[in-house]
Amino acid sequence: MQSKFTNIVVVGQGAIGLLWYHHLSQARYHLNTEVTLLASNHALLSQSNITSAKYQFTPYQQEHGQYYPLIYSQPSHIKAADIIILCLKSYNITEAVKEIVKNLSPHCIVILAHNGLGTVDEVINLLPKEQRIVAMLITHGCMRNAPLIITHTGLGQSDIGLLSGKLNVAQQEQLVHQLNHALPNVTFHESILLKQWIKLAINCVINPITAIHNINNGLVSSEQFSTQVNAILTEIIDVHEAEINKTDVCKTEGYKIKETELILSDLQLLVYSVAQATSKNSSSMRCDVLAGKITEVDYINGYIHRLGKKHNIATPENTRLWQQIKALT
């Protein structure tokens, strides 16, 4: 196992960003690491905000939170970073990379932790060719109650996998070891592609339906949406197959078609399973619509719409949902 990654920067002070920052900073003494947080509004922070910042964290199944010191990142932290975890909305990823790239080491591991697909296509040309870019898919539940105040609402896992660059086995093991020590369970996948598409499919169903109808996740399983769910998933399977077949990714990355195959019945079961497991939850897209905020729909149903146009495949259901959400916001 290679020497430890000693400098870690978390980008984003939302629920997931603070969740990872908290656990990494709590583990920093054992792992002998320095952990800092780069806020999206860093330029607006006063010196007193920076030097005396605190955040409140409430652990899973506990009623009361505690305040902890928050160490903000400086340019020197970015330059020294071995790992940078971007816990941002998908539409903020590219601008964040543009901001940090001038200080970024080409040996740093850049971890993209967001909903949807398509950001790696935007950022890959902004970074050095050898930059290691990793996807992180997170199922932990976490709620932002107010700025710098979060509650860990559900235990989950994190799946990671390489999107660009190279990591040898020792580096993979060290990365997983350090992340796992902070916030288990973390699993490295030789191909993260299938898991990304599965999560995208789930998001393409639950997020827009709950946002448009202003309902909790569990109601997506009701009979009234079954035809629509099947149409959404069928379109995703069609564009996924075209996207996989048109590239050499199966050869260059060692993927096999059967390992990246999406099956309608499996996706249906997964969608309804997630809807029931989170039945009382409000999806992130619904929360954004209710709050009058920008949603990530361009990287969810909008991504399917763009791939459909690219491959000349009709995606009427995903396109309709994309347009409806855009109209709401």
Per-residue pLDDT tens digits for 2-49: 568 999 999 999 999 999 999 999 999 999 999 999 987 766 666 767
**What is the CATH topology of the domain spanning 7-189?**
Rossmann fold (3.40.50)
Q: Please name the residue ranges forming H helices in 81-132.
A: 93-100, 119-123
Q: Give the span between the Cα atoms of 220 and 2, in whole angstroms.
A: 46
Please check the confidence at residue 97 and state whether its pLDDT lies above 80: yes
Outline which parts of the chain fall under CATH 1.10.1040.10. Answer: 194-328
**Closest of 162, 166, 159, 110 to residue 136, by C-alpha:** 159
Q: Give the span between the Cα atoms of 4 and 129, in whole angstroms.
A: 23
E runs forming strands in the chain: 7-11, 34-38, 54-58, 66-69, 83-87, 109-113, 132-138, 141-146, 149-154, 158-164, 186-189
Q: What is the CATH number of domain 194-328?
A: 1.10.1040.10
CA distance between the termini of the chain: 48
Sequence-separated (6 or more) residues with CB below 8 Å from residue 80: 7, 34, 105
pLDDT at position 116: 96
Position 66, amino acid: Q
pLDDT at position 2: 53
Sequence-separated (6 or more) residues with CB below 8 Å from residue 36: 8, 9, 10, 71, 72, 73, 74, 77
**Closest of 216, 222, 221 to residue 280, by C-alpha:** 216
pLDDT at position 307: 97
Higher per-residue pLDDT: 52 or 117 = 117
pLDDT at position 36: 97
Question: Average per-residue pLDDT in the chain?
Answer: 92
Please check the confidence at residue 194 and state whether its pLDDT lies above 50: yes
Confidence band of 252 (pLDDT split at 50, 70, 90)? very low
Confidence band of 290 (pLDDT split at 50, 70, 90)? very high
Q: What is the largest CA-CA distance in the chain?
A: 55
Q: Give the span between the Cα atoms of 28 and 45, in whole angstroms.
A: 25
Q: Give the span between the Cα atoms of 104 and 84, in whole angstroms.
A: 9
Percent of the chain residues topping a pLDDT of 70 = 93
Outline which parts of the chain fall under CATH 3.40.50.720. Answer: 7-189
pTM, two decimals, is: 0.92
Q: What is the mean pLDDT of residues 87-102?
A: 96
